[in-house]
Amino acid sequence: MSKTADNQEARLARAGKWLADAGVRPTRQRRALAALLVGDGRHRHVTAESLFEAASAAGERVALATVYNTLKSFTESGLLAEITVDGARSYFDTRTEDHPHFYWEDDGALSDAPTGSVELARLPAAPDGAEIARVDVVIRLRRAR
């Protein structure tokens, strides 16, 4: 077996375990998308469009609607965290524990900010009948001119 085939097999195995650990049924398309997300063991931030482009470049036949639905399913299963940067764009993060992000307005990229670099001294009380589910910290940046 070639090194490329071994590498692809390892990516699919890692993706399969990631799905199984969350109780997600490993369809062919879910495994293919999971391999692109976590197959190399690195954390990443993707949009539905960027994952669709990566899947197409890898020769995977998957519809954009399927990518959206799969990302939603992975998020609901706790495999991904959804980070909304504005009303029109969400990123999906393979690193699911709470941590701050930098959003680069110039090129639309999302990256992790150093953990522990943000301190929230106090949050407002949740309205009656509600509880705080989570707090997302997105620090918007633009290149200095």
Q: pTM for the full model? A: 0.86
Q: Which residues on neighbouring strands pair with residue 45, listed in sequence order?
A: 93
The confidence score (pLDDT) of residue 3 equals 61
Mean local confidence (pLDDT), 91-114: 93
Across the beta sheet with 138-141, the strand order is: 109-112, 101-104, 138-141
Residue type at 16? G
Q: Which two tokens stand for residue 20?
A: 């199984």
47 vs 75: CA distance, rounded Å: 13
E-only strand ranges, 42-142 = 45-46, 81-86, 89-93, 101-104, 109-112, 138-141
Q: pLDDT band for position 76 (50/70/90)? A: very high
Work out the mean pLDDT of the chain and round it to a whole number: 92
Q: What is the dotted CATH code of the domain comprising 3-141? A: 1.10.10.10
